[in-house]
Amino acid sequence: MLHELIYLSTSVPAEPEQALLDDILAASRKYNAAHGITGVLLHESGQYLQLLEGEREAVRRLYYDKIVPDPRHRDARVTLEHAIDKRSFATWSMGYGRLADLVPDRDLNLDSYLAGGIAALDLNEPAAYGRRLLLALYYQVQRKNTWQRVFGGRYFGLR
């Protein structure tokens, strides 16, 4: 059964060097590809938001056994966990982005959320704004002709 888990946490250090984020992404992509997990990671202002999807036990094992004890963040808390019929991020072993890199777009209605950072995103149900934002970003990146407009030219993570 496919499963989705979304969590928030506080990064340690609050503003990690890009090399640390690159290490996290490389290890995540390798592990996720080997375990059938897909998803996306956002980092902004000392906060992480990650959506994971895959088989229930694989997703829960990753979160509780690897992510929660990782010293590169603290205060991890699940905001949404539920069964899903299909993957939303099927082509990303782990996409990555930062809210600061986004250009407000009337189609996504980001203006009020960009100022509040990740903590301002509503993530407590499948139709929540924060989850819809992640999906909208994914779909816009998939339409390669518009991703630069949405992301200000910054790479979001198509691997």
Q: Residue 74 pLDDT > 80, yes or no?
A: yes
Q: Six-digit token pair at 86?
A: 């299909």
Q: Residue 90 pLDDT > 80, yes or no?
A: yes
**Band of pLDDT at residue 73, cut at 50, 70 and 90:** very high
Biggest CA–CA distance in the chain, Å, is 40
Q: Residue 158 pLDDT > 90, yes or no?
A: no
Q: How far is CA 124 from CA 33, 42, 90, 154, in A?
A: 27, 17, 22, 28
SS3 111: helix
Q: Higher pLDDT residue, 41 or 111?
A: 41
* Interatomic CA distance for residues 151 and 68, integer angstroms: 29
* Interatomic CA distance for residues 40 and 49, integer angstroms: 8
pLDDT at 123: 65
Domains, the chain, with CATH or none: 2-151 (3.30.70.100)
Q: What pTM value is reported for the model?
A: 0.75
| Highest mean pLDDT pick, 24-38, 90-104, 126-140 | 24-38
- Give the mean model confidence (pLDDT) for residues 17-30: 92
Q: Residue 47 pLDDT > 90, yes or no?
A: no
Q: Six-digit token pair at 110?
A: 């980001």
Query: Which percentage of the chain shows pLDDT scores above 70?
Result: 61
* Interatomic CA distance for residues 107 and 15, integer angstroms: 30
**Are the C-beta atoms of 79 and 134 separated by less than 8 Å?**
no
pLDDT at 154: 39
Strand partners, 48: 9, 43
* Ranges of H-type helices in the chain: 18-35, 56-61, 111-114, 129-142, 147-151
**Band of pLDDT at residue 112, cut at 50, 70 and 90:** low
pLDDT at 155: 38
Q: Higher pLDDT residue, 155 or 108?
A: 108
Q: Higher pLDDT residue, 24 or 132?
A: 24
Q: Six-digit token pair at 154?
A: 């910054």
Order of all β-strands in the sheet with 38-44: 73-83, 2-11, 47-55, 38-44, 95-97
Query: Which residue has tokens 């986004």?
Result: 102
